[in-house]
Chains A and B, each alone.
Chain A
Amino acid sequence: MRGPSRRIAQAAVTLVGAAVLVWSLQLLAPGDPARRVLVANGVGNPTPTQVAALRAELGLDEPAPVRLGRWLLAAATGDLGRSWRSGAPVAAELADRLPATLRLAAVALGFALLLAVPLALIAQHRRADLAARGLVFLGAAVPSFVVGTLLLEVVVVRLGIGRVLADGSWGGAVLPAVPLALAAAAVWARVLRAAMLEVRARRHVQVARARGAGRLRVLLVHVLPGASPPLFTAIGMTVGSLLAGAAVVETIFTWPGVGPYLVEAIVARDVPVVQGTVLLGVLAYVVANTLADLAAAAVDPGRAR
């Protein structure tokens, strides 16, 4: 198999493995899930008959491998089961909330890129490096919920600067995107800075200098493109943590996305919703990483694997 198709096949295998892991986690849960569902739906002290009936309805009496197989097959066709709380299909509920989260993610990733690349470029100047590294460190160490809370409660509510439209629109995404972007930009700038330092030491950069190329030309034409593969990898990784980040930031800004939906499901231990949402996050992560690898290979095809 050639490079790209091989990489995609690899990603598919990983995805199936991760799906098995996500499903299997519920086996760790103590107690009878059917009983939990009944309690969650307001049946104070369910009778054994009620529990048995629900067990049969949810298919809990079958052996775990059979249930896992069913779930995998259904998930492959886009059926993630029904919420234990609302009884509605998880896939449909997710589809309602996904556009808002995607919008927020797109704005955040855009901001992060606009921050990270200039920061890494500035850090190539020896005297600016320390300041850039300090900023990057702060960006990585300050929790996004602190940034988000201060932004919302102090800047917007108290000082009246800007406003928040938690309506899931593009314009409303600007403010909630800031804490997500800061965290991502810090990681990316660090990765890009290190990669650029590494590329600058390579022979071909010296050759370009030997041909007479100026500092800026060397930096923009040779160093930055050459240093982009690790940045792609870092971007792919960030997409993975985005679901967790969205859970926090969307909760602060009451953003109508997937994040609050997941948090409510966790609190209520609504297992199908948790599994479905996490599976979606894993899918996004695997896809993003695969794309990042393919992009890195396209930029620098000679890279030894």
Chain B
Amino acid sequence: MRLAVERLSVRYGNVTALREVDLTVADGEVVALIGESGSGKSTLLDAVLGVLPASAAVSGTIRPDRLRRGVEVGYVAQDPFGSCDPVWPVGHHVAEAWRAHGQRPPRGHIARRLAALGVAPGALRRRPHTWSGGMLQRADLVAATAHAPPLLLADEPTSALDADAAEAAMTTLVRSARSVLVAGHDLALLTRHADEVHVLERGRVVERVRVDRGGVAALAARASHPHTRELLAALPGAAARLPHGHHAATRGAPVAALERVTLAHPGSGPVLVDVDLQVRAGEVLGVHGPSGGGKTTLLRALAGLHRPASGTVRLGGVDVWSGRRPRRPRPGFVMPIFQDVAASLDPRWPAWRSVAEAGATRAEVERLFAAVGLDHRHLGARPHQLSGGQRQRVAIARALAGRAELIVADEPTAALDPTVAAGVSRLLREVADRGCAVVVASHDRARVNSYADRVVRLAELGIRDGRSEL
């Protein structure tokens, strides 16, 4: 079956999930969709399937439409636990593929197909919470391909499987349907099975690459869009060393230090292990890493807000955790800048009050406002009357009011438009040039590179989950 999507746009309120997407899956072909999470892969599959929520505003055409779900188009869902009804046994979930059409599964059929994928069928009578994600994912695959659909849509169908099982599942998946549209993160696996790769970035298809089941090498050879190259660069082992910042290397006095610090969250494993890090006055230190990688935890540890599982945190020579409560050289020594511009200032207070609270008189606040590029009109404004960039400037003024020697900034520009982000970055650079140490965590390598003296990768700092990410 040939699938043709033309100029498809999907919006949820003000948020655009898909923008004018064109996509064709030729009869008998396998097309892979790649892109970061949130790039619109699942939305695209849901749209083709016709199961978008009622709140979605859709325009564009999908041909053929009104496919008989389950028979003409099969679907392997993302997140195996979320996609399985927790109330019923897994056997019910698989058999639903037949019962939904008033049929009964052929005797022994489900058990045979599961066994072929390496799952013992005895567990079918138990409910999903007793299954592993990998087992569930394979059960879902059996249900999705129950009627050998001419078109199969698969959303990260192997995310919970190890490499061998993923290869087997993908082989089965490709074999049990004529045309396949599969979304995922595992570039190596997808490029081995796909005829064509479509790259999604923020709801747009930015590149189409013919790979002819040729693996990553084929994609790397033919891809030209920078975002595709970034996705390739993020592959384990493929990453080139990050170029270091152009500013002069460390020179000032040490302001903060982590000594063999291990950071963990209660109830889960360590986030970062045995980190050694020194921050000096006058430098901007960038910390780069993926979201969820532990950047925020590292910054909180530097500010004395997160107690390490082991190791020593020093602020201006003071051992922060020598007692039960954190000790810092003086109030205001460390000040924070947050990503969440909406919550970084008290919504009830005029801007000047938030700055004054950190220890400045009204006159000083006015001077600080001028120093961070705000003027007297902004003094009395409430946070909701200020733009995101202005709020970050107020936060920086607050840090200066505390006479901070160390500013920890967690994704300070992530919520800002590029030009505004550039302004805030410049301001942070100026603050550092006047002698304050600034540590910036960001997932935006290019941005942080543009104003940091040095950039460390999270993966270089610590070891996570017991295995090196280098």
Contacts and interface: CB of A to CB of B under 8 A. Distances in A.
A209 B87 CA distance: 16
Contacts of A303: 86
Interface string B37-53: 00000000010010101
B161 interface: no
Interface string A287-302: 0000000000001111
Nearest to B153: A210
A71 B88 CA distance: 47
Interface stretch (A46-54, A197-205, A239-247, A259-267): A197-205
Interface stretch (A117-125, A184-192, A212-220): A212-220
A64 to B, nearest CB: 38
B97 interface: yes
B322 interface: no
Given A207-B77, A210-B77, A211-B96, A300 B69 contact: no
B82 A202 contact: yes
B321 interface: no
B81 A302 contact: yes
A211 B82 contact: no
Given A210-B77, A211-B100, A302-B127, A204 B83 contact: yes
Contacts, number: 76
B96 A213 contact: yes
A225 interface: yes
Contacts of A208: 85, 96, 100
Given A211-B75, A212-B100, A302-B129, A204 B69 contact: no
Nearest to A217: B100
A209 B51 CA distance: 7
Contacts of B79: 203
Nearest to A126: B54
B128 interface: yes
A300 B82 contact: no
A212 B53 contact: no
A9 to B, nearest CB: 23
Given A207-B75, A211-B69, A302 B100 contact: no
Given A211-B143, A213-B96, A301 B68 contact: no
A201 B53 contact: yes
B101 interface: yes
A21 to B, nearest CB: 33
B124 to A, nearest CB: 16
Contacts of A205: 85
A212 B86 contact: no
Contact of B70 (A204, A212, A225, A226): A212
Contact of A302 (B46, B68, B86, B144): B86
Contacts of B129: 301-302
Nearest to B146: A211
Interface residues of B, number: 33
A202 B100 CA distance: 18
Contacts of A214: 100
A24 interface: no
A213 B85 CA distance: 13
From B70, B84, B86, name the one whose CB has the most chain A CB atoms within 10 angstroms: B86
A203 B100 contact: no
A209 B85 contact: no
B101 A210 contact: no
Contact of B87 (A207, A212, A299): A299
Contacts of A225: 87-88
A217 B85 CA distance: 13
A206 interface: yes
Interface string B89-101: 0000100110111
A300 B88 CA distance: 9
Interface in B131-165: 140, 143-144
A277 B402 CA distance: 61
B101 A212 contact: yes
Given A211-B96, A212-B101, A226-B85, A206 B70 contact: no
Contacts of B144: 211
A55 interface: no
Contacts of B97: 211-212
Contact of A204 (B49, B71, B84, B99): B84
Contacts of B127: 301-302
B70 A210 contact: yes
Interface in A4-30: none
A301 B131 CA distance: 12
A1 B87 CA distance: 24
A222 interface: yes
B466 to A, nearest CB: 25
A266 B81 CA distance: 53
Contacts of B101: 212
Given A225-B87, A301-B86, A206 B46 contact: yes
Given A201-B53, A206-B46, A302-B127, A213 B100 contact: yes
B71 A226 contact: no
Contacts of A300: 86-87
Nearest to B94: A211
Contacts of A226: 85-87
A212 B51 CA distance: 11
Nearest to B92: A221
Nearest to B49: A210
Contacts of B71: 212
Report the 6 A-B pairs with minimum CB-CB distance, sorted nearest first.
A212-B70, A302-B129, A210-B75, A213-B100, A203-B82, A211-B70
Interface of B: 46, 49, 51, 53, 68-71, 73, 75, 77-79, 81-88, 93, 96-97, 99-101, 127-129, 140, 143-144
Given A206-B46, A210-B77, A212-B68, 15 more contacts: A202-B82, A204-B77, A207-B75, A208-B100, A210-B69, A210-B70, A210-B73, A212-B70, A213-B96, A300-B86, A301-B127, A302-B86, A302-B127, A302-B128, A302-B129
15 contacts: A203-B77, A204-B86, A204-B93, A206-B77, A207-B83, A208-B100, A209-B69, A210-B51, A211-B75, A214-B100, A222-B85, A226-B85, A226-B86, A299-B87, A301-B86
Interface of A: 201-214, 217, 222, 225-226, 299-303
